[in-house]
Structure 1
Amino acid sequence: MEEIIYNELKENEIDTELFSSFNRHQDVKKCWRKEDGKWILKDIAFVEHWGAEEYEYLVRCLKNTIKTGGTVFGAFKNNSLVGFASIESGFFGTHNEYLELSCIHTSYESRGLGVGKKLFSLICKKAKDMGAKKLYISAHSSEESQAFYKAMGCIEAEEYNSKSVEKEPCDCQLEFRLD
């Protein structure tokens, strides 16, 4: 089995070519929705598959993350990107204790190998080093995505970030305590 190498990426390493073999595909069957204060798993099916337009937007976002003091990690297998995660630098919340995990994705063929778990661990260490008490995640509401975050120990956020809710109203707003 080939070793997976994890690196903190520099701005000049992030371009569309980096994602040439990355497969952001998800066949969603069920999603979590909050109704009357309770979380319900609903039959909501769709396929999410990123194309050139999504990767171009992603490259701009990740470059901006680094420009503004955040961090991007990449996971590589045979010099091909198989996972990535990013953390933003701006603190928020009533006590300014949150930093946002803005992205975490594993290429379709590399799921189940611990890539996401390792990236999450690297992000948590970085957030703690930056002085955060909690990691904030506006997370995809699919059953599989939520199972991952629950396995990592994430819980529903005590405070919701209104910008995140506005941007992705169907996401689940989560947090992870770094202490």
Structure 2
Amino acid sequence: MLIERELTESDLPRLALIDRSELVEECYRVENGELVLYPARFDMRGWPEGEAEENAQVLEKCWRSGGWLHGLFDGDLLVAAVVVDNRVIHNQGLKMRQLKFLHISRAWRGQGLGGRLFALACEHGREVGAGALYVSATESRNTVEFYQRQGCRLVDHPNPELIDQEPKDIHLYCPLT
């Protein structure tokens, strides 16, 4: 049975233990304001070198500044987590909060955990007065289509700071009203 709870500072190192392995065979890019699917093949095994450590620093900063971090545990093992940043992003005429992190360990996918955590992130966004969640999603087909199923749409003009950080990401938003 999974235990669901907010994450504490001592949980932050556990985020790197989430198994994000995935075989990616198709990706999206944005051309003229439209999503275009193209073939791409890479076998994502764990975290790219240095990314887990970089993520830990970013998420610790997010936690310290009042961000919302929530996880699902199988015993002591963190198997899924979602993070919403406290910083307000103005886009699409809305005050948004960034969905900073949403990962489900490979063995736990396909059970609705991603949808559950995304719904909780939306609920948190509403509680703090956000008009939408801003999502900078990896370009893999599975990821983009997951967010589309949750009600996300392409932003008209991606946030310049976030596009600089992840130029290949697909920038989406999910209205909360």
Fold similarity call, TM over 0.5? yes
Greater mean deviation of Cα atoms: 130-139 or 36-45: 36-45
What are the Cα deviations for residues 16-65 of structure 1, in whole angstroms up to 9, with x where unaligned? xx247521112111101122443211012212221673322222222111
Distance 1:21 1:38 in 2: 35
Query: Is the 8 Å Cα contact of residues 156 and 172 (structure 1) preserved in structure 2?
Result: yes
Runs of 5+ consecutive residues of structure 2 not aligned to the other structure? none
Residue in 2 aligned with 1:103?
101
- Residue of structure 1 aligned with 2:8, choices 7, 10, 13: 10
Runs of 5+ consecutive residues of structure 1 not aligned to the other structure? none
Q: CA deviation at 1:68?
A: 1.0
Distance 2:16 2:171 in 1: 30
Residue in 1 aligned with 2:35?
39
Query: Is the 8 Å Cα contact of residues 68 and 85 (structure 2) preserved in structure 1?
Result: yes
Is 1:71 paired with 2:68?
yes
Q: CA deviation at 1:106?
A: 0.4
Alignment length (residue pairs): 175
Q: 1:172 to 1:21 in 2, by over 3 A?
A: closer
Aligned CA RMSD, in angstroms, stands at 1.8
Distance 1:122 1:150 in 2: 16
Residue in 2 aligned with 1:166?
164
Distance 1:67 1:113 in 2: 31
Residue in 2 aligned with 1:114?
112
List 4+ stretches of structure 1 deviating above 4 A.
none
- State the secondary structure of the residue aligned to 1:93: strand
Q: CA deviation at 1:130?
A: 0.9
Distance 2:139 2:164 in 1: 15
Q: TM-score, normalised to structure 2's length?
A: 0.90
Q: CA deviation at 1:103?
A: 0.7
Q: CA deviation at 1:97?
A: 0.8
